[in-house]
Amino acid sequence: MSIQITSLQNPRIKELVRLRESRRERVSSGKILVEGKDEIRLALAAGHRPISLFLAPSLGASPAELELSAAETQIFTVSEAVFGKVSYREHPDGYLAVFPLPQRKMEELHGRSWDFVLVLEGIEKPGNLGAILRSADAAGVEAVLLCDPRLDPWNPNVVRASRGALFAVPLYPLSNQEALSFLREQGLRILAAMPQGNVLYHALDLTQPLAWVLGTEDKGLSPFWQEACDERVVIPMSGRVNSLNVSVAAAILLFETIRQRTSAKRARF
């Protein structure tokens, strides 16, 4: 049985607003917001369980759509006005859940072999990180190492832009040195994407275990990765602009990798 909330001043509603707006609140409470039926479903499919679920029946939301019961999750029904106060979407569908903040530790990276890893240095825009995570999920990336981030990866805007892929692709915040040590330990070929690269991305053999490393559009990769990488790779461009949006560059590189690997598998059969 769900509990109804109609007041904008309800303490639970105020908590949702704080979780939406404050990184400190998310970290201190160990909770994050996930809005949208599809995004919540993806989090559930990845093994995450919500602490609480807020539904706006007037927007068509129903717990039956998520196969959740009040026995495992606190379920609240709210008015459309209340949902509008806590929503961070332009066109909400009436589904909002509070999940435990996923805890990823570097120790989890050890004890298995990795084949396809993405390293992101200095990413600062939630929309870019979200879009990259969607591409990473679609391309079969096994882990994303987030180095020197300038954003909170659990920002609701990252969740929204990733369409829930944030839960499908393991994300590990690490220092540059921690990431490099892990990649070397794994024997992964480190490919750094940069405008000054001297190898065309599609001229490389991408069928072997590797890690792509990308930086921001404004400054690119730091000298740390430029010196540590095995190859400096470039995406050829004929226009006047000398860099791509990092999410676009990531999609190009990740899908070239999966294209080559898929072609190699077909050739063997």
Instruction: Return the CATH number at 149.
Output: 3.40.1280.10
Give pTM, 2 decimals: 0.88
Is there a single domain that holds both residue 185 and residue 212?
yes
Please report the pLDDT score of residue 242 as a whole number. 63
Check pLDDT > 80 for residue 2.
Answer: no
CA dihedral angle for residue 27, residue 28, residue 30, residue 32, rounded to 10 degrees: -60
**pLDDT of 197 over the 90 cut:** no
Provide the mean pLDDT of the chain.
Answer: 90
Instruction: Give the per-residue pLDDT at 70.
Output: 64
For residue 78, the Cα-to-chain-centroid distance in whole angstroms is: 29
Distances in whole angstroms, Cα of residue 240 to Cα of each of 194, 201, 214, 236, 244 = 16, 20, 21, 12, 11
- Count up the domains in the chain and report the number: 2
Q: Do 23 and 60 fall within a single domain?
A: yes
Mean pLDDT of 183-206: 94
- Domain check: are 114 and 74 in the same one? no
Q: Is the pLDDT of residue 69 over 80?
A: no
Q: Does 241 have pLDDT greater than 70?
A: no
Confidence bin at 77 (pLDDT 50/70/90) = very high
